[in-house]
Amino acid sequence: MALTDGIIASLPRATGVYLLRDSSRRIIYIGKAKDLRARLRSYLSGDDRPFTPRIVQETHQADYILTHTEAEALLLENQLIKTHRPRYNIDLKDDKSYVRIRVTTRQEWPSISITRTMVEDGSRYFGPYSSAQATRRTLSAIGRIFPIRRCKDTEFANRSRPCMYHSIGLCLAPCVFPGVKPEYDQAVKDLLAFLDGRNRDLERLLEDRMRYESDLLNFEQAARIRDQIAAIRTTLLPQVVVGHAGGDCHVFASFRGQDRIQVAVMELSGGTLLDSRNLTVRHAGDEDWAGAVILQFYLGGTPVPSTIYTDTLPRDRALLEHVLGGMRGSRVRIVRPSRGTPLRWLSMAMDNARTHARAGDGSALEDIAKAFRLTSIPYRMECYDISTLQGEASGASRAVFTGGEPDKTLYRHYRIRTVDGQDDFAMLREVFTRRLQGDESRPDLIVIDGGKGQLSVFVRVLEELGITGIPLVAMAKARREGHDRFFLPGRKDAVRLNERSAALRTLQRLRDEAHRFAVKYHRHLRSRGKRTPFQDIPGIGPKKAKALLRHTAGLQDLSRITEGDLRGCPLLSARDRKAVVSFLSRGEVIASHSGGTDL
């Protein structure tokens, strides 16, 4: 067997690293690509490297690990080559390509610097970063916010007057002003928080300073701050694939399909990603599949790490930790990360699980799951819409798609009961509360026809009811472009889908169905408000009542009508005429009849 079109077709059109394996599953070549499928396809035609035919001939399997950026792919490729040393790759032996930021936290007066080597001296290291020049620019920008010393220890110990950095406001000069200790310690804490990934706070601080300088008409200084913000946003690489952390860990992330669960397992050592595996599990109902997968993975001979991160906690976590701890010989923790680098690892593993679960280019539901970063395919999607006219005849609708197609047996109408007047948010609140307090199956995704306001209403209802785990998205049309936008809880910017994608078409169909169903119910409620008294007569429905209205338009006193007067009225039988005369003779319709349609 060799590298074939069939193997290549199974690869995604995404950025990442590919690992080519021979018949014994040994890695023979590792490469990176912006488009994995296109890159591997070039091996069959257009790649004139002398060893390419041998790689093609010996390849029996192509694995991949997705990354968020090309820079991450470059770092990961570098690390995997050093770890596995494939036959057809250049033998990389050192780390001199990358630099790190070092903060000497063990010292009384910590310093910040750039280094290419790491030593066990208690310092904090951040990186690696591929561009030393860009990292120096970033370090300079950081120094303008965190005035921490950058001098060598010998210079610091022998200085008797402040240096140039203090003169231009880039250092507190602790070498000659020991009274700045509290301010200096706070600056170090803020710096570490930023380097740990909490850079949004720093960006907001910079933006405030930029606006302040602009208000003072210091446009040159404002421009420099603007450039600093741009440098921080573009030069620091996410610390996901290569880092520096204590101990080993594994990351388990899952993606639910209709009949199976795809699990991606990432193996990390010292914060560096070494390998990634993918497992497929059949659905097991309410069975504790997460615990079973984790246990079987390590029973197969894989060494147990000290920490296991997972998106789905096992039901008997304490028992599983005890069993794995016995296998390892020391304590093992199983946790679900909520922030920081472990959360970014989990996000990366989820992307890989989601992509491996796709067949070919994937279905519309899989595209929706990927776009909104769902943990499972949204097999059951519900969309809600409100229809009202100045607060009158208000109603709501629920349209339901199962498997990407309408399921009209699950459609529902909601008559608004507690809201008077035009208050769409309050109406949505009533509808959502009634829906979620019921015992119906929970949806895999709720789509709201509206924007951020409607989304926030649903989020508050979920919080008040103590319900978690239901993905939400609000679907709104942009005022100018006319393209649909999607708003997610906790995300500032809107998500846009490809205009030609099946995912967008499916969501538009769902939204249009909810709107159609809501308008139809609203018209029904309005028509009931114009109900004629003739419809109170047994056997007389809307059509016969309409015919009666037309036939009796010229009569002034309906209480004196006879069956003979009704003989020319269409649709009425002799029995109907008798029932009408009996009803009208009792005076249950106004005596004066001018022929209008609102009796």
Section 3-13 average pLDDT? 85
Among 73-77, 96-100, 326-330, 436-440, name the one with the lowest average pLDDT: 96-100
Phi-psi region of 462 (alpha: psi -120 to 50; beta: other; left: phi over 0): alpha
What structural domains and CATH numbers belong to the chain?
5-84 (3.40.1440.10), 100-235 (no CATH), 248-359 (3.30.420), 380-527 (3.30.420.340), 534-585 (1.10.150)
pLDDT in tens, 251-301: 999 887 666 788 888 888 766 677 778 787 765 444 567 887 888 888 777
- Say whether 530 sits in a helix, a strand or coil: coil
Q: Round to whole Å and give the CA distance between 534 and 531.
A: 8
Is cis: bond before 53, omega within 30 of 0? no
pLDDT in tens, 119-136: 778 888 876 665 566 667
- With a cut of 60, say whether residue 361 has pLDDT above it: no
Question: pLDDT category, 591, cuts 50, 70, 90?
Answer: very low
- Going by C-alpha positions, the residue among 261, 447, 474 that lies closest to residue 356 is 261
Q: Round to whole Å and give the CA distance between 109 and 398.
A: 62
**257 in Cβ contact with 357 (< 8 Å):** yes
Q: Round to whole Å and give the CA distance between 532 and 589.
A: 10
What six digits make up the tokens of 580? 């009408």
- DSSP letter string over 572-584? --HHHHHHHHHHH
pLDDT in tens, 540-558: 887 888 788 778 766 666 7
Which residue is listed with tokens 């700045």? 180
- Say whether 360 sits in a helix, a strand or coil: coil
Q: Round to whole Å and give the CA distance between 390 and 425.
A: 14
CB atoms under 10 Å from CB of 565, counted, come to: 16
Q: Round to whole Å and give the CA distance between 257 and 407.
A: 19
- With a cut of 50, say whether residue 312 has pLDDT above it: yes
- With a cut of 70, say whether residue 1 has pLDDT above it: no
pLDDT in tens, 483-540: 788 999 888 788 888 877 888 888 988 988 888 887 777 676 666 555 566 767 888 8
Note the pLDDT of residue 594: 36
pLDDT in tens, 318-358: 888 988 988 888 999 999 998 878 888 888 888 888 777 76
Note the pLDDT of residue 580: 86
Distances (CA, A) of 263 to 62, 65, 156, 251, 336: 17, 13, 52, 10, 15
Would the pTM count as exceeding 0.75? no
pLDDT in tens, 28-86: 998 888 889 888 888 887 667 777 888 888 898 899 998 887 767 766 886 787 778 88
pLDDT in tens, 398-424: 889 987 888 888 888 887 777 766 666
State the DSSP H helix or E strand holding residue 597, giving kind and residue range, or none if neither: none
Burial annotation 282-313 (CB, 10 A radius, 16+ → b, else e): eeeeeebbbbebbbebbeeeeebbbbbbbbbe
First to last CA, the chain: 83
Note the pLDDT of residue 54: 85
- Say whether 485 sits in a helix, a strand or coil: strand
Q: Are strands 380-389 and 472-477 parallel, antiparallel or unpaired?
A: unpaired
